[in-house]
Amino acid sequence: MVRITRVYTGTGDEGTTSLVDGSRRSKADLRLEAVGTCDELNALFGLCLMEVQRLPGHEDGGSRSTVSRVQNIVTQVLPRIQNELFDLGAELACIPSQLPEGMAVLSENQADVLVDEMDAWLEQLEPLTSFILPSGNGPEAAVHVARTVTRRLERAVLRLLESEGEGSVRPLVLIYLNRLSDWLFVLGRWICLGLGNEESLWLPLGKRGSEKGVADQIRKLSQSDADFANL
């Protein structure tokens, strides 16, 4: 049972902190970089959850079935992943061989569940014919941000593994993070579909034509404002 009576300890004032095994490292250490990025990702999941819960229903007070469906699924899966990210952060805060006896860590089951959910969502989605821009009119935009931070966490863990060598990170950690990033991509598309939003497709440079920008529009607007002020 975790019991926190105060947050401030003062032990980190000089830029070091303790790992799970009690050893101390610089807060700039690669292992702490991975732990911190995991925490950042968890916070982003909380933001995604907030955006989904804030989705509006009909103005007459009724709720759209599609919104309810999205909220029902997302409010189940995101808190589950947040708990798994706490588990992952605790694991990363220690060399695997020094983990406390009896400490539960992520298993293949968690990674398999991600794949199973992706497959279920993909059954409802049309295949992509182009890359999509990381944007959206709803929570899917925040999901894209979480996806990119997941990739950053994956890179941080890989740097840690390359720096400290074999045995410094369990192979399953990288598998889980790779699956999680894909999972977020598919989830974002499924949310977009469920809310009736359009995906923004990437148009290659060769097909976009000459870019003129909006400088002329800006000048015309400014001139219109000036003309109105002079009336």
Q: Is the dihedral of CA 190, 193, 198, 202 positive or negative?
A: positive
**The token pair that represents 34 in the structure block:** 């991975």
Residues in a beta bridge with 18: 24
The residue written with tokens 């607007």 in the block is: 221
Is 50 exceeded by the pLDDT of residue 62? no
Eight-state DSSP code of residue 15: S
Domains along the chain with CATH numbers: 16-229 (1.20.1200.10)
- In tens, the pLDDT along 185-222 reads 999 999 999 998 888 888 888 888 777 888 888 888 88
Residues in a beta bridge with 26: 16
- In tens, the pLDDT along 154-188 reads 999 999 999 999 999 999 999 999 999 999 999 99
Alpha carbons 59 and 219: distance in angstroms, whole number: 38
Sequence length of the chain is: 231
pLDDT number for residue 16: 66
CB atoms within 10 A of CB 156: 21
